[in-house]
């Protein structure tokens, strides 16, 4: 290379000493900031610089707001000696001045510590691992029932915060007080990039702006940007860099622009990012492990496999289902008993342990179903084709086959890898029509009738043991085929055939759980559903008592029976409301490793042991369970990670996280589509029932739309009505009207777009009429027919 064409080396470092050394040696050296600022052709890059020097970014007023965080060494000493407790910081969605810390370890007495007020939260952010100091009992507080959102634009509004904090502290009975503490230091920050919107500064030409995250548990973030005018009205991503002691908000920097707020693609992207759902297309490395097409079953595939293609097997699924995991058959044996088979897609045949396809499926953990989009756990070639048990094609399966008597008692159980050929792919409705139709007597229909008869016996037996039938208002959208906007909502209908398939899936899951636990007592992957602590039920018991009904909660069986008895002839929907409320009292069902736990019980299903085997196309847990079962019956070989209980526990931890996030993402998708629906529908008035009463609001459910919302009784810039809240009954008195849980009200529903970022369904009271609170209504577009009753199962 000629001398004039030589590459110029420059040294970029944020370390002062290194920079000085480089300059001494004649190497041009810059800090990252200096170098980026020198690139005058790309001024927008400056926005992406992290705010590193906390001193330089402190607000000029410099008033110290927060106490100092103690260094890690001091925190560790304090935790060891018991002065401090370590836990996960959970911010509240409803109140930005309140949070809880879930204490790690076996500290039964203080499992959960409440924090109230800015200074006590001390710059901790949702999901951080923190050290807290317990306050003396005289300073303990009760969780507040006030809904408070951070509306302030002004940095110096700290006095105002203090006034709001005083509002949280209300007179409560001693037993309501909870262990209360303050954050003394941060053990581990769990920051991630946050989606949200810019709240542009009112000061002209200002580069400093506040960013408001979409997640209400995250505080606003101060960023510097020169592109404020182009970023207004857009969804953007921002990262946090630090939080100085004298700043009301943390500092951060702009990462990227996602697109216009309210657009379907942008909002879906936000929803997936915010719930940490992996949704990038599958990489080439992952796809390289898929079978080459055209694919067919070889002799090698038939090794250790039974040929069941002669059996009259069929699948029953929702309409439009392409990822068919399961198929069933039932036939009479020569000895007069029945043979029933559950056949599940043999996904573990295609996904081999440890390769890129396996790692990616394990990372995703589950398929996520949004209103108009499915984010697959495995590539489409498997999910909708080779693993999908479609009719009239040969498919590899894992079969669980029972011999039963006509009273649905299991006489023998057999597990085998198999090859099947489904004779029909039916929807729940089609299967129901066949069962009910007198002139159909073909093999498929006979098989379905046999299955349905046994399923009814199994269900009755399960309910006798104390299994719960809970309710949730489930809604489906009808989409416009052109614009893909929701045009109508329909509440899901549940047929007998839904229940029929479900009974056999439960039975297969229980049979497999017993088998893998017998074989691998230390490293079976199981699923448990813990019984809720009695305090969880308070709200349900009080609500029922206000209607003169008794709900017993000492066992699942007594809960199930008292829910069955809790009927009101004049108010038929009451029972569904109680079941919806009971669902809210439940704990989350979780995956766990049998060697790391001794409580296996599944509360909702009233089963001593349970696992997931029946949906390996859309759940990774089932893939592991298939591998364990295959090793147990000698149909496949084991591998080291499969028998390592610590590795399995890590897998369970990720699966539990992914399942929870998938659930939240699905709810957020329904909420967004509900907004689109009301955007086009305009203002409507509907019947609603009160689910909860709060200090300044009621939470209502609108059965027609399966929609929940809050009616606030205190509005900014309006005189506040006289509110009296009684936690014992519970009730809320406004002027002269008293509201109880389950009261029927009429509300007006409209889309409130005043806050672009959190467009929300706004509900206001129409009836009962309270002067100055209720709004007049036009009843012309009201549907006054009562809500339909429906039930749904819990905790699969």
Task: Give residue-wise pLDDT tens across range 710-753.
Answer: 888 777 666 777 788 887 788 888 878 888 888 889 888 888 77
Q: Which phi and psi (to 5°) does residue 82 adopt? A: 90, 5
Rounded Cα gap, residues 233 and 78, in angstroms: 46
Strands (E) in 231-337, as ranges, are: 234-242, 251-260, 306-307, 314-317, 326-332
Query: In the structure encoding, which two tokens stand for residue 202, read together?
Result: 């009112």
pLDDT category of residue 200 using cuts at 50, 70 and 90? confident
DSSP 382: I
| Contacting residues for 651 by C-beta, under 8 A, at least 6 apart | 362, 525, 591, 620, 624
Whole-number Å distance between alpha carbons of 489 and 474: 10
Residue 137 is classified by DSSP as G
Percent of the chain whose predicted confidence (pLDDT) is above 70: 85
CATH of 681-765 among 2.40.50.140, 3.40.1030.10, 1.10.260.30, 3.30.930.10: 2.40.50.140
More confident residue, 291 or 755: 291
pLDDT tops 60 at residue 31: yes
The β-bridge relationship of strands 112-116 and 129-134 is unpaired
pLDDT at 383 over 90: yes
Between 788 and 98, where is the model more confident? 98
Q: Quick one: which of 181, 168, 30 has its CA closest to 95?
A: 168
Between 2 and 508, the higher pLDDT residue: 508
DSSP 385: I
pLDDT for residue 433: 93
**pLDDT attached to residue 108:** 56
Average pLDDT of the residues in 647-659: 95
Question: How far is it, in rounded angstroms, from Cα 30 to Cα 745?
Answer: 66
Strongest mean pLDDT among 5-19, 343-357, 594-608: 343-357
Residues 6+ apart with CB under 8 A from 177: 137, 140, 141, 142
Confidence of residue 5 (pLDDT cuts 50, 70, 90): low
Q: Which has more confidence, 662 or 671?
A: 662
- pLDDT-based confidence at residue 701 (cuts at 50, 70, 90): confident
Q: SS3 for 523?
A: coil
- Return the top range by mean pLDDT from 53-57, 398-402, 539-543, 771-775: 398-402
Average pLDDT estimate for 30-51? 73
For residue 594, pLDDT beyond 90: yes
The pLDDT of residue 538 is 85
Q: What stretches of 70-224 adopt beta strand conformation (E)? A: 84-91, 98-103, 112-116, 129-134, 181-188, 194-199, 208-213, 221-224
681-765 has the same fold as 191-260: yes
How far is it, in rounded angstroms, from Cα 148 to Cα 494?
Answer: 39
Give the pLDDT mean for 492-499. 74
DSSP 641-695: GGG-HHHHHHHHHHHHHHHHHHHHHHHHHHHHHHHHHHHHH--EEEEEEEEEE-S
Q: How far is CA 73 from CA 105, 129, 701, 753, in A?
A: 20, 15, 50, 48
Better-scored residue on pLDDT, 319 or 631? 631
59 has pLDDT over 80 = no
DSSP string, 389-414: --BTSEEEEEEEEEEE-TT--EEEEE
Distant-in-sequence, close-in-space partners of 746: CB < 8 Å, separation ≥ 6? 685, 686, 687, 688, 765, 766, 767, 777
Domain 191-260: assigned CATH number: 2.40.50.700
pLDDT of amino acid 780: 40
Higher pLDDT, 358 or 322: 358
Q: Please provide the average confidence, as pLDDT, over all residues in the chain.
A: 84
Centre a 10 Å sphere on the Cβ of residue 70 and count the other Cβ atoms it contains. Answer: 18
Average pLDDT estimate for 188-205? 83
- Cβ-based neighbours of 380, under 8 Å, separated by 6 or more: none
**Phi, psi of 158, rounded to the nearest 5 degrees:** -65, -35
Highest mean pLDDT among 133-137, 599-603, 656-660: 656-660
The answer to whether the beta carbons of residues 636 and 398 sit under 8 Å apart is: no
**Nearest CA among 752, 753, 782, 756 for reference residue 767:** 782
Q: Computed over its alpha carbons, how large is the radius of gyration of the chain?
A: 30
How many Å apart are CA 302 and CA 293, to the nearest integer? Answer: 19
- Angle at the Cα of 702 (from 701 to 703), degrees rounded to 5? 105
Across the range 398-427, mean pLDDT stands at 96
E runs forming strands in 408-474: 410-421, 424-427
Sheet containing strand 760-767, edge to edge, reads 707-712, 697-702, 684-693, 744-752, 760-767
Q: What is the pLDDT of residue 106?
A: 66
How far, rounded to the nearest angstrom, does the alpha carbon of residue 659 sit from its chain's CA centroid? Answer: 7
CATH number of the 70-186 domain = 2.40.50.690
Residue 54 has pLDDT above 50, yes or no: no
HSE at residue 794, side-chain half, CA atoms within 13 A, is: 29
**Lowest pLDDT segment from 148-157, 341-350, 454-463, 730-739:** 148-157
More confident residue, 680 or 777: 680
Name the residue among 492, 171, 156, 450 with its Cα closest to residue 331: 450
Helix then strand count (H, E) for the chain reads 19, 33
- Which sequence spans correspond to the domains of the chain? 70-186, 191-260, 282-528+586-665, 532-583, 681-765
Comparing 65-69, 415-419, 574-578, which segment has the lowest mean pLDDT?
Answer: 574-578
């Amino acid at each position: 290379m000629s001398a004039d064409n030589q590459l110029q080396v420059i040294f970029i470092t944020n370390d002062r000493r290194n920079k000085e050394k480089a300059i001494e040696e004649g190497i041009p050296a810059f800090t990252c900031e200096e170098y980026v600022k020198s690139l005058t052709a790309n001024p927008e890059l400056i926005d992406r610089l992290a705010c590193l020097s906390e001193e330089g970014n402190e607000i000029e007023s410099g008033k110290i707001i927060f106490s100092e965080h103690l260094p890690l060494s001091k925190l560790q000493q304090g935790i060891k000696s018991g002065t401090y407790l370590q836990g996960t910081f959970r911010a509240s969605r409803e109140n930005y001045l309140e949070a809880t810390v879930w204490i790690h370890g076996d500290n039964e007495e203080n499992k959960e510590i409440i924090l109230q007020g800015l200074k006590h939260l001390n710059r901790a952010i949702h999901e951080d691992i923190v050290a807290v100091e317990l306050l003396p009992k005289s300073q303990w507080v009760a969780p507040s029932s006030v809904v408070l959102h951070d509306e302030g634009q002004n940095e110096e509004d700290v006095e105002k915060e203090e006034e709001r904090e005083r509002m949280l502290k209300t007179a409560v009975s001693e037993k309501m007080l909870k262990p209360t503490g303050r954050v003394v230091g941060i053990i581990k920050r769990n920051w991630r990039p946050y989606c949200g919107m810019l709240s542009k500064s009112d000061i002209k030409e200002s580069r400093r702006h506040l960013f408001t995250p979409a997640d209400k548990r995250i505080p606003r973030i101060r960023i510097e940007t020169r592109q404020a005018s182009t970023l207004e009205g857009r969804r953007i991503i921002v990262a946090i860099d630090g939080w100085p002691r004298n700043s009301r908000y943390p500092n951060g920097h702009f990462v990227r622009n996602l697109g216009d707020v309210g657009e379907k693609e942008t909002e879906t992207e936000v929803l997936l990012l915010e719930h940490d759902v992996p949704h990038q297309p599958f990489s080439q490395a992952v796809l390289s492990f898929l079978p080459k097409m055209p694919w067919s079953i070889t002799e090698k595939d038939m090794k250790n496999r039974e040929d069941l293609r002669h059996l009259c097997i069929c699948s029953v699924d929702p309409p439009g289902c392409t990822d068919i995991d399961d198929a069933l058959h039932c036939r009479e044996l020569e000895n007069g008993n029945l043979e029933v088979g559950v056949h599940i897609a043999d996904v573990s045949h295609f996904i081999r342990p440890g390769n890129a396809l396996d790692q990616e499926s394990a990372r995703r953990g589950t398929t996520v179903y949004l209103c108009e989009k499915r984010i697959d756990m495995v590539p489409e070639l498997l999910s909708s084709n080779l693993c999908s048990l479609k009719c009239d094609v040969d498919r590899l399966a894992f079969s669980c086959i029972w011999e039963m008597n006509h009273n649905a008692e299991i006489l023998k159980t057999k597990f085998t890898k198999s090859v099947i050929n489904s004779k029909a792919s039916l929807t729940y409705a089609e299967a129901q029509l066949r069962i009910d139709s007198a002139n159909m007597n073909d093999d498929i229909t006979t098989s379905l009738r046999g299955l349905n008869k046994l399923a009814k016996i199994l269900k009755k037996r399960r309910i006798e043991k104390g299994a719960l039938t809970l309710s949730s208002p489930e809604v489906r959208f009808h989409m416009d085929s052109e614009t893909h906007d929701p045009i109508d909502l329909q509440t899901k209908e549940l047929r007998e055939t839904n229940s029929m398939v479900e009974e056999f899936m439960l039975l297969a899951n229980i049979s497999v759980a017993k088998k893998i636990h017998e074989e691998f007592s230390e490293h079976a992957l199981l699923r448990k559903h813990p019984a809720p602590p009695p305090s969880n039920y308070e709200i349900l018991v009080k609500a029922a008592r206000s209607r003169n009904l008794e709900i017993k909660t000492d066992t699942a069986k007594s809960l199930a029976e008292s829910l069955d008895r809790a009927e009101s002839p004049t108010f038929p929907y009451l029972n569904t409301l109680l079941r919806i409320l009971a669902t809210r009292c439940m704990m989350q069902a979780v995956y766990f490793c049998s060697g790391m736990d001794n409580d296996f019980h599944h509360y909702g299903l009233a089963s001593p042991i349970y696992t997931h085997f029946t949906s390996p196309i859309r759940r990774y847990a089932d893939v592991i369970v298939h591998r364990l079962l295959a090793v147990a019956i000698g149909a496949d070989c084991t591998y080291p990670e499969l028998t390592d209980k610590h590795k399995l526990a890590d897998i369970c931890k990720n699966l539990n996280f992914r399942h929870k996030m998938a659930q939240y993402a699905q709810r957020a998708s329904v909420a967004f589509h509900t907004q689109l629906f009301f955007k086009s529908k305009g203002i409507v008035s509907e019947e609603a029932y009160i689910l909860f009463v709060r200090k300044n609001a009621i939470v209502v459910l609108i059965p027609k739309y399966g929609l929940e919302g809050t009616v606030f009784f205190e509005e900014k810039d309006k005189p506040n009505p006289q509110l009296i809240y009684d936690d014992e009954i519970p009730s809320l008195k406004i002027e002269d009207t008293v509201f109880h849980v389950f009261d029927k009200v009429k509300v007006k529903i409209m889309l409130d777009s005043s806050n672009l970022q959190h467009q929300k369904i706004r509900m206001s009271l129409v009836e009962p009429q309270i002067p100055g609170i209720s709004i007049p209504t036009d009843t012309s577009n009201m549907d006054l027919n009562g809500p339909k009753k429906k039930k749904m199962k819990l905790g699969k």
